Amino acid sequence: MRLLLISNSTNPGEAYLDYPKEHIKNFLGDRAKNAIFIPYAAVTFSYDEYEEKVNNRFAEIGHHVTGIHRFINPVEAIENADAIVVGGGNTWQLVKILQEKGLMKVIRKRVKKGTPYIGWSAGSNIACPTLKTTNDMPIVEPDKFKTLKLVPFQINPHYLDDHPANHGGETREVRINEFIEVNRDLFVVGLREGTMLLLEDKELVLVGERNARIFKFGQEPRELSHEDDFNFLLS
C-alpha cells in the first residue's frame, strides 16, 4: 500500500495545499494520469468548486484530478483510477455518502492492491478503522462508524495542544483519553498541522518538523519526531 495522510490542507498565512504540494508531487510521480478526487466532505460549497480549488494547486506540480461526481458509475471510476485523492471537510458527510454509493469496499480493495491514496483532514481520518477520532460535528448520520481501515490505528487530524483562554471545556488530549479509555486496543496519532504520515514499502514515517503525539491506553502519551520509528503502529 501507498498512503499519504495529511493533517490539514492549509497552514496559516499560506495558500491552499501549499505546504504539502511537493510531497504530493513526489508521491504521485509521473504515472498518476487518472487521479480521482472525492469531494464529498464539502458542505458549504459545490463539488465543482472543490475540484477546481484542488486542480488550481495540482496544476503547479504537473497533476490533475477529476471529481468522482462527474462519473455516472463512481465504483467503476475508482476501479480505473491511477490514484485516489480524498479532500477534507466534514467527515460525517464524507462517510455517509461513501457508504450510500457503495464506495468504501472498492476504495479499500484498490488501495490494498497498490493504488496510491492521498487524504487530508477528513480524508486522512477515514483511512483509519473508524471515524471516531474526527473533530467534526455529526451534521448527518452514516449507517456505521467503520471506515476504510487502511491503517490499524486512529488519526486525530489538526491535533491541538492549546487550551484557549476563557474556555472551561475539555482539551483535545482529554477527548482522546476518553476514546482510548473505551477503545483500549487502538493507538491514536495526534497529527499536528503541517505534518503528514507516509506509508510506502511497508514503512510508516512522519513528514514535517512538528512532532506527533501518540496515545494508547495504559501508556503515557509519547512525542515522536520524523526521526523516530512509527512502524510499531502497523502491527
Residue of 23, 158, 226, 228 with catalytic role: 158
Task: Confirm whether 64 is a catalytic residue.
Answer: no
What does the alpha-carbon distance between residue 17 and residue 5 come to, in Å, rounded to a whole number?
13
Beta pairing partners, 189: 155, 214
- Catalytic residue (one of 9, 69, 124, 136): 136
Instruction: State the catalytic residue, choosing from 7, 9, 121, 124.
Output: 121
Alpha-carbon 109 to chain mean position: 17
Concerning whether 9 is annotated as a catalytic residue, the answer is no
User: What order do you get walking across the sheet with 222-224 strand by strand?
Assistant: 154-159, 188-192, 212-215, 222-224
Does 161 participate in catalysis according to the annotation?
A: no
C-alpha 130/C-alpha 216 separation (Å) is 16
Q: Which residues are catalytic?
A: 121, 136, 158
